């Protein structure tokens, strides 16, 4: 079975968040299953990976976008170094940029990316079996495959859509339809939601099946989905929740080259302590105190707007008996407020930016990982932290609900229900209580490290879905 994963991110080439981690790992694990040939197609960005690896041109052509003619090249990485065939779509001037997102003309970018992929696939002798679309950036592919005559060769090819984050739907004004490959006008409703072109809605309507990255998140979408609730209810017969796994080869504390002191479950307590001491020294924190960390995008869905108040309140309430470290970037108001506290409190350390190495060090060093998410479709941070023996303190929502159980009911993490400062600080106080009980932390470190979040099970579930 030949599967193409279509995505704008893929680790380690271009990563903004968890989407990259999933697309960089899932195909690799699918390829371990007999008879499966999973590949990845993504845009060609100006990233170090493309300069450090050898590529060959496998397709050279043109697409039309409105009255513009765009040159398209599909480049294949020659050695399958990532454990799958990697194809990168190069559109000079439109896709070959430094970053996946953040450009004014992103609607043009994503439309051209999707059109180019299908144009290339139509030039092949054999059709693929499955096109697996990830998030709204490739959400129009199911419509294009079935309803654009230009791609009639692909008609009938099965399409699966995975919703990693329903907060972003890619809504466009209908005048963007002029830049679509041609389609019968009466089919417009398959792309419409409330008077806008909505790629995510179209993915739900037109794919053969769609998935969310946890069961808990799927249940929530029926109630709250930025306006798409009734659509997901109507299409529930083809909806599946499949939890993400983690790439146990990349995220292995025993071999992770980004750590100062590697460890396994036998020597975790001592080695984690060394990691923590080093990190605390670097950031001027007291290694004797419990270390709480937050890693992520400063967005309201992550509850990042609550962080400044959490910092001052938890430090004040505990009389400075804890450390907090935050790694991330995003909303400038949050960044500035946190910068201010970084100057004010010696118990608080801030590192602004995206730093893959530092994130690994923090997962290995912290005692607790904070995730006050308002919305969390799956969340990978909590799984990474658990694998690195760090206790997750999470809001009970979406994928966090499915992966972290509170110690009061036999789990190895801490949950809180409401995404508010008081509830978070209360959970942190519970955590400090645990930290101060002899032997308890040790038990929790081991219990967390023993969880199995390997991709194998979920990779099988996707294959079963393709087969169905
Ligand atoms: P999301 O995709 O919504 O941001 P996930 O929990 O699925 O959330 O994945 C986030 C991924 O991005 C994790 O691999 C996490 O370690 C990483 N990450 C987030 N922010 C940073 C940062 N500032 N520096 C390094 N890695 C980060
Ligand atoms: C999204 C979600 C996150 C999920 C990731 C990978 O970015 O916000 O919860 O883990 O996709 O599926």
Query: Cβ(15)–Cβ(9) under 8 Å?
Result: yes
**Shared domain check, 460 and 438:** no
- Residue 257 resides in a domain: no
**CA distances (Å), 244 to each of 293, 402, 429, in order?**
22, 11, 30
- Residue 195 resides in a domain: yes
Average pLDDT (88-104) is: 97
pLDDT tens sequence across 179-200: 999 999 999 999 999 999 999 9
pLDDT tens sequence across 351-367: 999 999 999 999 999 99
Distance of CA 399 from the midpoint of ligand 1 (Å): 15
Classified as helix, coil or strand, 58 is strand
| Helix residue ranges per DSSP H, 254-323 | 268-283, 307-317
**Shared domain check, 12 and 33:** yes
pLDDT of residue 139: 98
Q: Which residues line ligand 2 (CB under 6 A)?
A: 17-19, 22, 164-165, 213, 244, 376-380, 399
**Shared domain check, 119 and 221:** yes
Atom of ligand 2 nearest to the CA of 217: 9
Tally of structural domains, the chain = 2
Average pLDDT (301-328) is: 97
Q: Identify the CA nearest to 351 among candidates 325, 374, 330.
A: 325
User: Does the pLDDT value for residue 257 go beyond 90?
Assistant: yes
Classified as helix, coil or strand, 204 is helix
pLDDT band (50, 70, 90) for residue 220? very high
pLDDT tens sequence across 374-421: 999 999 999 999 999 999 999 999 999 999 999 999 999 999 999 999
Q: Identify the CA nearest to 243 among candidates 20, 29, 453.
A: 453
**Shared domain check, 421 and 372:** yes
pLDDT of residue 314: 97
**Shared domain check, 209 and 147:** yes
Helices 440-449 and 421-435: crossing angle in degrees, nearest 10, is: 110
pLDDT of residue 84: 98
Nearest bound ligand to the CA of residue 371: 1
pLDDT band (50, 70, 90) for residue 311? very high
pLDDT of residue 187: 98
- Residue 220 resides in a domain: yes
Query: Cβ(231)–Cβ(40) under 8 Å?
Result: no
Nearest bound ligand to the CA of residue 384: 1
- Residue 95 resides in a domain: yes
Nearest bound ligand to the CA of residue 401: 2
- Residue 243 resides in a domain: yes
pLDDT of residue 170: 98
**Shared domain check, 230 and 286:** no
- Rounded distance between C-alpha atoms, residue 246 and residue 366, angstroms: 19
Q: What is the DSSP string of 409-468?
A: GT-SBEEESS-SHHHHHHHHHHHHHHHTSTTHHHHHHHHHHT---BSHHHHHHHHHHHH-
**Shared domain check, 432 and 462:** no
Mutate to test the pocket of ligand 1, among 137, 165, 380, 390 (most ligand atoms within 8 A of CB): 380
**Shared domain check, 342 and 235:** no
pLDDT tens sequence across 225-235: 999 999 999 99
pLDDT tens sequence across 2-14: 999 999 999 999 9
**Shared domain check, 462 and 419:** no
**Shared domain check, 398 and 339:** yes
pLDDT of residue 380: 98
Classified as helix, coil or strand, 231 is helix
User: Angle at CA 125, nearest 5°, toward 120 and 130?
Assistant: 70
**Shared domain check, 178 and 59:** yes
Q: Which residues line ligand 1 (CB under 6 A)?
A: 17-19, 21, 295-297, 327-329, 354-356, 359, 378-381
State the chain's mean pLDDT as an integer.
97
- Rounded distance between C-alpha atoms, residue 133 and residue 446, angstroms: 37
- Residue 396 resides in a domain: yes
Percent of the chain with pLDDT over 70: 100
User: Does the pLDDT value for residue 169 go beyond 90?
Assistant: yes
Average pLDDT (153-166) is: 98
**Boundaries of domain holding 363:** 268-449
User: Does the pLDDT value for residue 438 go beyond 90?
Assistant: no
Average pLDDT (317-339) is: 96
CATH of the domain at 402: 3.40.50.2000
**Shared domain check, 369 and 309:** yes
Atom of ligand 2 nearest to the CA of 167: 8
Query: Cβ(327)–Cβ(362) under 8 Å?
Result: yes
pLDDT tens sequence across 266-287: 999 999 999 999 999 999 999 9
């Amino acid at each position: 079975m030949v599967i193409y994963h279509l995505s704008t991110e893929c680790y380690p080439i271009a990563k903004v968040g968890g989407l990259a981690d999933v697309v960089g790992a899932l195909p690799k694990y699918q390829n371990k299953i007999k008879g499966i040939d999973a590949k990845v197609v993504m845009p060609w960005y100006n990233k170090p990976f493309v300069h450090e690896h050898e590529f060959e041109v496998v397709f050279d052509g043109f697409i039309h976008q409105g009255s513009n003619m765009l040159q398209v090249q599909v480049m294949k990485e020659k050695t399958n170094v990532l454990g799958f065939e990697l194809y990168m779509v190069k559109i000079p001037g439109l896709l070959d940029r430094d970053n996946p997102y953040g450009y004014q003309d992103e609607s043009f970018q994503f439309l051209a990316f999707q059109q180019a992929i299908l144009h290339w696939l139509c030039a092949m002798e054999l059709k693929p079996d499955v096109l697996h679309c990830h998030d709204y950036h490739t959400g129009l592919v199911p419509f294009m495959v079935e309803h654009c005559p230009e791609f009639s060769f692909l008609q009938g090819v099965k399409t699966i859509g995975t919703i990693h984050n329903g907060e972003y739907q890619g809504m466009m004004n209908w005048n963007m339809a002029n830049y679509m490959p041609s389609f019968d006008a009466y089919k417009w409703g398959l792309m419409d939601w409330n008077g806008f072109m909505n790629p995510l809605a179209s993915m739900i309507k037109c794919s053969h099946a769609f998935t969310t990255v946890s069961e808990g998140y799927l249940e929530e979408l029926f109630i709250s989905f930025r306006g798409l609730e009734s659509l997901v209810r109507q299409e529930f017969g083809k909806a599946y929740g499949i939890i993400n796994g983690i790439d146990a080869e990349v995220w292995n504390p025993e071999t992770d080259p980004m750590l100062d002191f590697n460890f396994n479950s036998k020597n975790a307590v001592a080695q984690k302590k060394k990691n923590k001491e080093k990190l605390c020294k670097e950031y001027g924190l007291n290694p004797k105190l419990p270390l709480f960390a937050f890693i992520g995008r400063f967005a309201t869905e992550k509850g990042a707007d609550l962080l400044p108040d959490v910092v001052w309140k938890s430090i004040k309430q505990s009389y400075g008996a804890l450390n907090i470290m935050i790694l991330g970037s995003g909303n400038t108001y949050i960044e500035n407020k946190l910068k201010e506290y970084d100057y004010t409190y010696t118990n608080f350390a801030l590192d602004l930016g995206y730093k893959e190495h530092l994130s690994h060090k923090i997962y290995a060093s912290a005692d607790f990982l904070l995730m006050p998410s308002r919305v969390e479709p799956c969340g990978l941070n909590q799984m990474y932290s658990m694998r690195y023996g760090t206790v997750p303190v999470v809001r009970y929502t979406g994928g966090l609900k499915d992966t972290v159980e509170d110690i009061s009911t036999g789990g190895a993490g801490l949950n809180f229900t409401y995404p508010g400062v008081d509830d978070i600080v209360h959970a942190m106080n519970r955590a400090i209580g645990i930290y101060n009980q002899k032997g308890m932390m040790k038990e929790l470190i081991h219990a967390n490290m023993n969880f199995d979040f390997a991709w194998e099970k979920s990779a099988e579930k996707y294959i079963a879905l393709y087969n169905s």
